Homo-oligomer: A and B are copies of this chain.
Amino acid sequence: VSKRLTIYEVAREAGVSIASVSRVMHGRDGVSGETRERVERVIERSGYVVNGAARGLAQRRLGVLGFVFCDLDEAEPGADAVTSFYSHEVVRGAERAARRVGDAVLLAATHSLSERRRVLALAAKVDGLAVMAGSLSPADLERLADRVPVVSFAAGRPPGDLDSVRVENFEGARTATRHLLEHGYAEIGFIAGPSRSAEGRARFNGYRRALADAGFDAPTAPLERGDFTENGGEHAVVQMLRERERPPRALVIGNDQMAVGAIGALGARGFGVPDDVAVTGFDDVPLAGHVQPALTTVHQPLRRIGEECTRLLLHRIEHTDAVRTAVVLPTELVVRRSCGCGGGAA
């Protein structure tokens, strides 16, 4: 690393003023061909790169968008391998969209809800922040939103008065449940995620609606709860089989990861999927198509979540006073084998 080059050096070298250098850097016109060429030559030769901090200060825009997740945490290794798929895909979508406008993406994770301080500080390093629901208390979120443009994503329902991006959790679960009903299964249970998950709640409600619409009594509480991990799904099944002789004919499970755990636990206790128990998941993680049996699940467009967050953020940054926007992305039932359907993709 050689000495940090500044616009002054470049200007001197090219025999022009710093203003001209700046103009060339931005591709602005109002610069003679000769000047432009000279400056460009020096830049190319010296490898000059603007100082982002200085530019950010002058422009009041850093060209950085922040994403806050609550699952990039220090959980036990492996346990969250699938969960992490979520954030990664969202980030990819976000990065791609940000890249198009020359912005970069900053990542942050909250482990506990008590990390206010750190997240608040993040606001300093970005032009806007996309925050995953649940990674910050509503109060902190509001506070944050007062400092910097914020969009919330992965919320069960539209939060406060923030821009937001979410998927059709309700509809997705409803569709999955309906599919199970069409199989003719009369007894369908739900294994939920943690009660604090708004998305999980929305899925449960979708399930209830499908049942109600079909003329069944929809339970007011899920059969069991897990923590969205494989172990959680396993435990839920174990617990369930402690409370009742045998599993219901079908199980709608809050996410794929738990569904995988549940299928394993079910199998270990002699219950075949889908012959004894039909199962659906939610998310459509890569694993879903590979487990035995392949998992029927609800696909959500993760990359698009990231893209939309970026889009909303960029818009909000330009127009502080824009009207609040809530984007709802569609989900889609992916039929494989765990529901009892014959064919399906591998």
Residues of A in contact with B (beta carbons under 8 Å apart) = 1-2, 4-5, 47, 49-57, 60, 62-64, 66, 72, 74, 77-78, 81-82, 84-85, 87-89, 91-92, 95-96, 99, 102, 104-109, 118, 120-126, 143, 145-149, 260, 264, 286-287, 290-292, 303, 320, 346
For the complex, give the distance between the alpha carbons of A50 and B125 in Å. Answer: 9
The answer to whether residues A125 and B1 also contact, given A99-B118, A104-B107, A303-B77 and a CB cut-off of 8 A, is no
**Contact between B52 and A56 (Cβ–Cβ < 8 Å)?**
yes
Q: How far is the CB of A251 from chain B (nearest CB, A)?
A: 19
**Contact between A147 and B47 (Cβ–Cβ < 8 Å)?**
yes
**Contact between B125 and A108 (Cβ–Cβ < 8 Å)?**
no
Q: How far is the CB of A319 from chain B (nearest CB, A)?
A: 11
The answer to whether residues A109 and B104 also contact, given A72-B92, A87-B88, A287-B287 and a CB cut-off of 8 A, is no
- What are 6 A-B contacts defined by CB distance under 8 Å? A5-B147, A51-B57, A72-B96, A85-B85, A102-B121, A105-B108
Say how many copies of this protein the assembly contains. 2
Contact of A84 among B72, B89, B107 (CB under 8 A): B89
The answer to whether residues A49 and B88 also contact, given A56-B56, A74-B96, A104-B106 and a CB cut-off of 8 A, is no
Instruction: Select from chain B the residue with minimum beta-carbon distance to A321.
Output: B1
**Contact between A81 and B125 (Cβ–Cβ < 8 Å)?**
no
Residues of B within 8 A of A118 (CB): 99, 102
Q: How far is the CB of A277 from chain B (nearest CB, A)?
A: 18
The answer to whether residues A50 and B124 also contact, given A104-B106, A106-B64 and a CB cut-off of 8 A, is yes
The answer to whether residues A107 and B109 also contact, given A64-B125, A85-B81 and a CB cut-off of 8 A, is no
Residues of B within 8 A of A96 (CB): 72, 74, 109
Contact of A146 among B2, B78, B85, B102 (CB under 8 A): B2
Residues of B within 8 A of A5 (CB): 147
Contact of A149 among B1, B64, B81 (CB under 8 A): B1
**Contact between B147 and A1 (Cβ–Cβ < 8 Å)?**
yes
**Contact between A120 and B88 (Cβ–Cβ < 8 Å)?**
no
For the complex, give the distance between the alpha carbons of A287 and B148 in Å. Answer: 39
Residues of B within 8 A of A64 (CB): 64, 106, 125
For the complex, give the distance between the alpha carbons of A287 and B290 in Å. Answer: 8
Instruction: Select from chain B the residue with minimum beta-carbon distance to A301.
Output: B77
**Contact between A148 and B57 (Cβ–Cβ < 8 Å)?**
no
For the complex, give the distance between the alpha carbons of A121 and B95 in Å. Answer: 15
Instruction: Select from chain B the residue with minimum beta-carbon distance to A302.
Output: B77
